[in-house]
Amino acid sequence: MSNDDRSVTIRLASLSDAEQLAHLCEQLGYPVAAGHLLLRLTSLLLQSDHALFVAERADGHLLGWVHVYHCFLVHTDPEAQIGGLVVDAAVRRSGTGHRLLQAAEQWAREQGCWGMYLRSRETRIDAHQFYHTMGYEPVTSFVFRKRL
């Protein structure tokens, strides 16, 4: 942990974070207008089976976020999934991602989850290495999507 990392607080997101969250979404490759993100955030924050943690510097600047949710499936005991994790490019490798992921894992434990899943694009090699160092093992599968 760097000295700067100690001044970073991990907390649950609030509606006032929408603009900064939108900026971080853009860095992840998912551009969204702050107003549209605010609508999503308003709904998400009402869900007790979801949590959105942010890493915030003392000056109020957000350095990253992680979205974790409780996944109920008929074929397995309760598990959690990471919906997204992003750390500002300027502070990657500072320990911020590590702390965000730890917060998500702790939340999942408190929800009674036996494990965590996440998806990561094949091209995000640095992210894969990060997840591996955090104890995550690759699971081979295909992800399919259909636009409705």
DSSP 32-72: --HHHHHHHHHHHTT-TTEEEEEEE-TTS-EEEEEEEEEE-
Q: What pairs with residue 53 in β-bridges? A: 12, 66
**For residues 111 and 113, what is the distance between their CA atoms, to the nearest angstrom?**
6
**pLDDT digits 0-9 by tens, 6-62:** 689 999 999 999 999 999 999 888 889 999 999 999 999 999 999 999 999 999 999
**pLDDT digits 0-9 by tens, 91-102:** 888 889 999 999
Task: For residue 1, name the pLDDT band (cuts at 50, 70, 90).
Answer: very low
Q: Which domains does the chain have, with CATH numbers?
A: 3-133 (3.40.630.30)
